[in-house]
Amino acid sequence: MKKQRKRGLPAYPGSRRAHLLLALLIILEAGSILAQAYFLAKSVTALFSRTPLPDVLSGIGIFFAAFMIRHTIGHIETALAERFARQAAGSLREKILKVYFQPNISSIRRHGTGHLVTLAMEGIDKVKDYLGIIGIRTIKTMIVPATVVVFVFFFDPISSMILVVTVPIVVIFMILLGLAAQKMADRQYATYTRLANYFLDSLKGLETLSYLGRSKQHASNIERVSDDYRNATMRTLKVAFLSSFALDFFTSLSIAFVAVGLGLRLIDGAIGLLPALTILILAPEYFSPIKQVGKDYHATLDGQIAMAEVDKLIEDEETRGQKAGNIEGFRGIPAVALKHIDIEVDGAKLLDDISFKATTGLNAIVGPSGAGKSTLLQLLAGRLSPSSGEIYGNGKLTNTLNDPEWISKIAYIPQHPYVFPLSLADNIRFYEPEATDEQVEKLISNIGLGKFVASLPNGIHERIGEGGRTLSGGQAQRVALARALLSEKPVILLDEPTAHLDIETEYEIKQLVLSLAKNKVIFLATHRLHWLNSADQILLLEKGHVTANGTHMNLMQDNKAYQDFIEWGRGAHNA
């Protein structure tokens, strides 16, 4: 896919001020270049005319002063550009991280975890390098050659015309090679992004691959993707090296045209030594910014692509953010109603015409695998926004539950909860940091972790997760469930909370959940049929559509789809 690049100077907060200061500094630098060339030529001419050295010292002194001023200004320009680049890159990285960590996972699904990580890490670094170069090079290319050619015009109009005429030759060649390099860089960046995504996904699934005995086969796939990236990089470097060589050749040829013209006219006496030498010294300075832009173009191609992708990502997410919900006035236990909700991601409809109302009690969401249970929970968690339909919070219309006020009232336990590399107690206190050890210990006993905690040297203060005590799937599920049970949240979302538990522990947790359902809104996605007799409302999903809605008793009497599901579930369980 062709990457779109923004033309001109990047526009970020502080860019106008930075570019204005750079322009002023470059004007001073251009003046020092002219002074350096003129007084060097004047000193050489004077010495060539056998002028005593003491009479030339003032000119030599001015030359060295201009030389020092020029390079001092150059260092200041670099420091200013790097400072602006760091600030802009930091702001962009912060915005990307907000996209990654925001509740709405549709952004991650659209862009991919690996791609977002690549942009936030290597992508932003490339953007920083690009921003640190492009401002100086672009402004210098506009100011220095124009200043030099005007200055040369007053000495020798013919030489100034030669300088102006030879520029299009260099520019045309830069465009031709630039287009080829751009295509190569696009392929290289796409291959790099694919490699990053592939590598990150491989790390996430490494344990599963090892269990399945497919790790060696997968390693060959990584090697193949790596080779693709290596080949793409080598093709890009070949074009870049060819471009640099040709650019040096054409600029040297252009300078030679000026030098030959000056030499012939100097022999004929049509021009003096001082102006001829001044022009000859300035000719390389005239082409230097143009040549440097050509070289930097290849060095910053990845930065241009990354900047365009970062800007587009942030622009898209800010546009989506303007559509965020605005649920006001949640007090006590919130009531939620969905009407004709559709969710479509990448052309696939995940939920289709979902309508129901939920208040206090246990709302069970059931259905076969792939029916949309987890998707519905993600919608209720504010992690997905509907493509169409209406959502009502406490009777007020909104278009999404991705709202800070709603999210602050929910505890969400997914199928595969994350265990933080902290103590067991701190993991359980995720929603309630101020909870006491006594509250944590009581809850641990209720969820069946008492014996496990008793075996730990540090009890509830034992470090778990990465770098600490390893937990089984069932233990991790119970820790996550304890977070929700300890919380004061009025809404609890549970996605298969007892999938990894034994029957005795599941029964104990069921009693806890049912006791909480008396004064909370609980959404439970489950395959376990024994929950259904206790549910205040049952939603049966099939292919993203609600085919049954009601209590277990009512649905068993008059809903054929629900009856068939129960029979299917019992058969699957018995099998």
CA distance 62 to 395: 80
Partner residues linked to 356 by β-bridges: 338
Compute the average pLDDT of residues 140-157: 88
Burial of 29 (0-12, 13-18, 19+ CB in 10 A): buried
Q: Which of 324, 472, 466, 474 is nearest to 406 (CA)?
A: 324
140 vs 209, higher pLDDT: 140
CA distance 314 to 311: 5
Residues 6+ apart with CB under 8 A from 113: 197, 200, 201
How does pLDDT run across 205-228, given as a tens digit for each residue?
A: 666 666 666 666 667 777 777 777
Please report, rounded to a whole number, the percentage of residues in the chain having pLDDT higher than 70: 79
How does pLDDT run across 335-348, given as a tens digit for each residue?
A: 788 898 888 877 77
The CATH number of 336-574 is: 3.40.50.300
CA distance 449 to 478: 8
How does pLDDT run across 160-182, given as a tens digit for each residue?
A: 888 888 777 777 766 666 666 66
C-alpha distances out from residue 170 to 8, 179, 332, 539, Å = 20, 14, 72, 70
User: Quick one: three-class SS letters along 233-282?
Assistant: HHHHHHHHHHHHHHHHHHHHHHHHHHHHHHHHHHHHCCCCHHHHHHHHHH
| pLDDT at residue number 575 | 44
Compute the average pLDDT of residues 379-390: 83
| Cα 172 from chain centroid (whole Å) | 35
Q: Which residue has the tokens 């050489």?
A: 44
312 vs 68, higher pLDDT: 68
Q: Which of 471, 523, 521, 516 is nearest to 494 (CA)?
A: 523
**Dihedral (Cα; 303, 305, 307, 309), 10-degree rounding:** -150
How does pLDDT run across 424-464, given as a tens digit for each residue?
A: 899 889 888 888 888 888 888 877 788 888 888 888 888 88
- Residue 184, Cβ neighbours under 10 Å: how many? 21
Poorest-pLDDT segment among 189-203, 255-269, 363-377:
189-203
Answer yes or no: are the C-beta atoms of 444 and 482 closer than 8 Å.
Answer: yes
Rg of the Cα atoms in the chain: 35
Compute the average pLDDT of residues 92-100: 74
Highest mean pLDDT among 5-9, 323-327, 569-573: 569-573
Helix axes 437-446, 473-486, angle to 10 degrees: 130
Answer yes or no: are the C-beta atoms of 418 and 441 closer than 8 Å.
Answer: no
| pLDDT at residue number 100 | 62
Task: Report the half-sphere exposure of 538 (CA within 13 A, side-chain side).
Answer: 28
Q: Which of 540, 568, 545 is nearest to 555 (CA)?
A: 540
Where in the sequence of the chain do the CATH 3.40.50.300 domains occur? 336-574
Where in the sequence of the chain do the CATH 1.20.1560.10 domains occur? 15-321
CATH topology of domain 15-321: ABC transporter transmembrane region fold (1.20.1560)
512 vs 283, higher pLDDT: 283
Confidence bin at 359 (pLDDT 50/70/90):
confident
| pLDDT at residue number 205 | 65
Largest CA distance in the chain: 118
- Residue 246, Cβ neighbours under 10 Å: how many? 16
| pLDDT at residue number 261 | 84
| pLDDT at residue number 322 | 47
Residue 247 tokens read as 């650019």
Residues 6+ apart with CB under 8 A from 382: 103, 104, 325, 400, 401, 402, 403, 406, 407, 410
pTM over 0.75: no
Residue 200 tokens read as 């990150």
Partner residues linked to 473 by β-bridges: none
Q: Which residue has the tokens 């006590």?
A: 332
CA distance 451 to 465: 18
Summary mean pLDDT of the chain: 79
Burial of 347 (0-12, 13-18, 19+ CB in 10 A): exposed
DSSP secondary-structure letter at 459?
G
| pLDDT at residue number 189 | 64
Please report, rounded to a whole number, the percentage of residues in the chain having pLDDT higher than 90: 9
Answer yes or no: are the C-beta atoms of 357 and 335 closer than 8 Å.
Answer: yes
Partner residues linked to 540 by β-bridges: 366, 548
